[in-house]
Chain A
Amino acid sequence: MSKFPKFLMAASVAALTAAPAMAEKLGLGRAATEAEIAAWNLDVFPDGSNLPAGKGDVWTGEEVFAEACAVCHGEFAEGAGNWPKLAGGADTLDHEDPLKTVGSYWPYLSTTFDYVRRSMPFGAAGTLSDDDVYAIVAYILYSNDLVDDDFVLSKETFLDVELPNAEGFIVDDRADTEYGTFTNRCMSDCKPGAVEITTTVVFPGDPNSGTDATPISQAVMGTAAAAAAPAEAEVTEAAAEAPAAEEAAPAMALDAELVAKGEKVFKKCKACHKVGDKAKNGTGPILNGVYGRAAGTVDGFKYSKPMLAAAEGGLVWDEAELSGYLANPRKYMKGTKMSFAGLKKDKDIAAILEFLKSHSQ
Chain B
Amino acid sequence: MSTETKGTGTSRRGFLKGAAATGAALGAAGAARAEGDPLITEVQEWASGLGEGVDATPYGMPIEFEGDVIRRNVEWLTADTISSINFTPIHALDGTITPQGCAFERHHSGAITLKKEDYRLMINGLVDTPLVFTYEDLERFPRAQQTFFLECAANTGMEWAGSQLNGAQYTHGMIHNMEYTGVSLRTLLEEAGLDAAGDLKDKWVYVEGADASSNGRSIPMEKALDDCMVAFKANGEALRMEHGYPVRLVVPGWEGNMWVKWLRRIEVMDKPVESREETSKYTDTLEDGTSRKWTWAMDAKSVVTSPSPQMPIKHGKGPLVITGLAWSGRGAITAVDVSLDGGVTWQEARLAEPGKPMALTRFYLDINWDGSEMFVQSRAMDDTGYVQPTKAQLREVRGLNSIYHNNCIQTWHVNANGEANNVEVS
Contacts and interface: CB of A to CB of B under 8 A. Distances in A.
Contacts of A94: 287-289
B387 interface: yes
Contact of B166 (A12, A37, A201): A201
A178 interface: yes
Interface stretch (B27-35, B50-58, B336-344): B336-344
B324 interface: no
B413 interface: yes
A195 B339 CA distance: 12
Contact of A98 (B80, B200, B226, B289): B289
A214 B317 CA distance: 24
A224 B310 CA distance: 12
Nearest to B110: A270
Interface stretch (B14-22, B41-49, B187-195, B362-370): B187-195
B332 to A, nearest CB: 15
A129 to B, nearest CB: 17
Interface string A17-32: 0101101011011111
B109 interface: yes
B131 A228 contact: no
Contacts of B346: 185-188, 190
Contacts of B134: 29
Contact of A188 (B132, B265, B345, B387): B345
A28 B226 contact: no
Given A111-B280, A191-B343, A196 B426 contact: yes
B191 A169 contact: no
B155 interface: no
Interface stretch (B97-105, B206-214, B234-242, B352-360): B206-214
B375 interface: yes
For the complex, would chain A's binding face be called helix, strand, loop or mixed by DSSP majority? loop
How many interface residues does chain A have, given as a range? 35 or more
A171 B345 contact: no
A154 interface: no
Nearest to A167: B290
B305 to A, nearest CB: 14
Nearest to A110: B274
B10 interface: no
A170 interface: yes
A198 B424 contact: yes
26 contacts: A5-B220, A12-B222, A16-B200, A16-B221, A18-B225, A40-B208, A81-B79, A82-B80, A98-B285, A107-B274, A111-B280, A115-B275, A174-B299, A179-B384, A190-B344, A191-B426, A195-B341, A195-B426, A197-B426, A198-B426, A199-B163, A201-B421, A201-B422, A201-B423, A224-B67, A227-B67
A195 B337 contact: no
B194 to A, nearest CB: 4
A194 B309 contact: no
Interface in A309-344: none
A228 to B, nearest CB: 7
A345 B283 CA distance: 43
B321 interface: no
Contacts of B167: 216, 220
B310 A25 contact: no
Contacts of A195: 341-344, 375, 425-426
A83 interface: yes
B337 to A, nearest CB: 7
B67 A228 contact: yes
A262 to B, nearest CB: 15
Nearest to B299: A174
A208 B293 contact: no
A178 B389 contact: yes
B13 interface: no
Given A5-B294, A29-B131, A185 B165 contact: no
Interface of A: 4-5, 7-8, 12-13, 15-16, 18, 20-21, 23, 25-26, 28-32, 36-37, 40-41, 43-46, 72, 81-83, 93-94, 96-98, 100, 102, 105-108, 110-111, 114-115, 118-119, 122-123, 125-126, 168-174, 177-179, 181-191, 193-205, 207-208, 215-217, 220-221, 223-224, 227-228, 267, 270-271, 282-283
B116 interface: no
A289 to B, nearest CB: 21
Interface stretch (B68-76, B143-151, B243-251): B68-76
Given A31-B129, A171-B293, A40 B265 contact: yes
B6 interface: no
Given A29-B132, A45-B274, A82 B79 contact: yes
Nearest to A14: B226
Nearest to B264: A40
Contacts of B337: 185, 187
Contacts of B283: 169
Given A168-B290, A169-B290, A43 B385 contact: no
Nearest to A31: B129
B212 A119 contact: yes
B292 A36 contact: no
Given A181-B393, A198-B426, A16 B222 contact: yes
Contacts of A122: 82-83, 109, 212
Nearest to B140: A28
B302 interface: no
B191 A29 contact: yes
B206 to A, nearest CB: 6
Contact of B275 (A40, A111, A282): A111
A29 B137 contact: yes
B133 to A, nearest CB: 4
Contacts of A271: 80, 82
A131 B225 CA distance: 38
Contacts of B200: 16, 20
Given A172-B295, A195-B344, A217-B309, A227 B68 contact: yes
A205 B165 CA distance: 8
Contacts of B389: 178, 182
Given A16-B201, A191-B342, A105 B280 contact: yes
A177 B426 CA distance: 23
B316 interface: no
Given A108-B279, A111-B279, A190-B346, A173 B292 contact: yes
Contact of A190 (B67, B312, B345, B426): B345
Given A20-B190, A187-B346, A204-B166, 13 more contacts: A25-B190, A29-B131, A31-B130, A32-B132, A114-B273, A178-B299, A182-B393, A183-B387, A185-B337, A191-B426, A195-B344, A199-B424, A283-B80
B383 interface: no
B166 to A, nearest CB: 4
A201 B159 CA distance: 10
A202 B310 CA distance: 16
Contacts of B386: 179, 182-183
